[in-house]
Amino acid sequence: MRVAVVGGGAVGTTAAYDLADRGASVVLYEKGEIGGASTGRAAGVLYDAFAAPEDARVGDRAIERFRAFSGEGEFEFRETPYVLLAREGDRKRADAIREQVPRMREADREVAFADPDELRDRFPAVEWDDVGVAAVAENAGCTLPGAYADLLAEKAREAGAEIRTHTAARLDPDGPSVETDAGSASFDAVVVAAGAHTKRLLAAAGISVPLKPYRVQALTAGFDDEKGSLPMVYDATEGYYLRPHPDGLLSGDGTEEVESDPDEWKRDADEAFVDATRERLDHRVGDFGPVEDAWAGLCVATPDRDPLVGELRDGVFVAAGWQGHGFMRAPALGEAAAEAVLGDSPVPEFDPTRFDGDEAFEIVEGMAVD
């Protein structure tokens, strides 16, 4: 079976590896560098703390594979608990956390409520005095996303896949074939895993999908974690996260709930975002060093906040619409895309044909607790 994968991010490289490892003849097309677009700008926050059964199942498989790949090449999965909190007085998000945590536990996620005293004892590097409700997810960690994409691309090569970087690919409207500046090639299947560019690539082939790219922001700053107790934290009230990072810590969100052009968008973080994040970090972790880097990336929204994974028409498959959770679930979603090509339907809830493709919808922050 000959398969083309369009997109060399975390999901595309995983799909290419899983397809090649299972005997398919694979060519991956990436218009830039491997992991050079949204994957390289992702936060690298990894957890399986989802309430919906299908999300919990996908998250569990992703963490399982992250652990299995850790130590290969430059990729490392750093075990780090994930703390989800709502501040005192934020009744809406506190109620949401109280409702979601039991559902996470019903889905066999290792998540438990924790009060401020427990959090102080366990994570003294963080300020917890304003916490109204909090929970800790244990099956979690963090990493550098680019290292994962590089590893899976190399594993795909070793399994027999051909990786073509700096090669823009276009879909043929008449069948599962790909056109590049070097010519046209026919395949039995084409998987489009091109992130923010997925909608345009498919539209050029006459396929409409309800996807909207939107901009998010992050920064890294110095932080001396003398106690070695910095967890990953998501402050649902303020809508930001932080995690350990080789530079000290990484913090972000800065979601713009408007559609972005996948080619023309601001790559640098906004000054207002940097200033607001400084204030948040000063409150949550106290002393921290200078901002080392600040950037923006693109996520992709869908009408129901669930991704599109599967066959759209004969021989044309899609894997996109991660709502900010794409990298953390990439090992499972790339695998699911490969299995869909090979005739399985591992996550029927994400079937892309559930939409007509022209749905009107608002962009909603992917990490929002409501």
β-strand 189-192 against 2-6: which pairing, if any? parallel
65 close to 116: Cβ distance less than 8 angstroms: no
For residues 238 and 85, the answer to whether their CB atoms sit within 8 Å is no
- For residue 344, the 8-state DSSP code is -
| pLDDT score for 45 | 97
Are residues 62 and 329 in contact, defined by beta-carbon separation less than 8 angstroms?
yes
pTM reported for the whole predicted model: 0.96
Q: Which residues of the chain have pLDDT under 70?
A: none
Q: How many CB atoms lie within 10 A of CB 258?
A: 10
Residue 61: predicted pLDDT: 98
* Contacting residues for 270 by C-beta, under 8 A, at least 6 apart: 217, 254, 296
pLDDT at 226: 76
Q: CB neighbours (10 Å) of residue 23?
A: 11
Instruction: Please write the tens of the pLDDT for every residue from 272-289.
Output: 999 999 999 999 999 899
Residue 346 Cα distances to 31, 122, 137, 294, angstroms: 29, 38, 25, 37
CA atoms within 13 A on the CB side of 113: 15
CATH architecture of 79-140+212-299: 2-Layer Sandwich (3.30)
Q: What is the pLDDT of residue 123?
A: 96
Determine the pLDDT at residue 336.
98
Q: What is the largest CA-CA distance in the chain?
A: 64
CA 291 to chain centre: 23
Angle at 340 between CA 364 and CA 58, to 5 degrees: 50
Average pLDDT, the chain: 96
- Residue 350 contacts residue 310 (beta carbons within 8 Å): yes
Ordered by start, the domain boundaries in the chain are 2-62+144-211+303-354, 79-140+212-299
* Tokens linked to 42: 């992702």
Task: Return the bridge partners of 163, or none.
Answer: 28
Q: Which two tokens stand for residue 310?
A: 């599967």
**Multiple choice CATH, 2-62+144-211+303-354, 3.40.50.10800, 3.20.20.70, 3.50.50.60, 3.40.50.620:** 3.50.50.60
Residue 260 has a pLDDT of 96
The encoded tokens of residue 229 equal 């107790």
Query: What distance in Å separates the CA atoms of residue 254 and residue 215, rounded to the nearest whole number?
Result: 8
Pairwise CA distance, residues 136 & 201, whole Å: 40
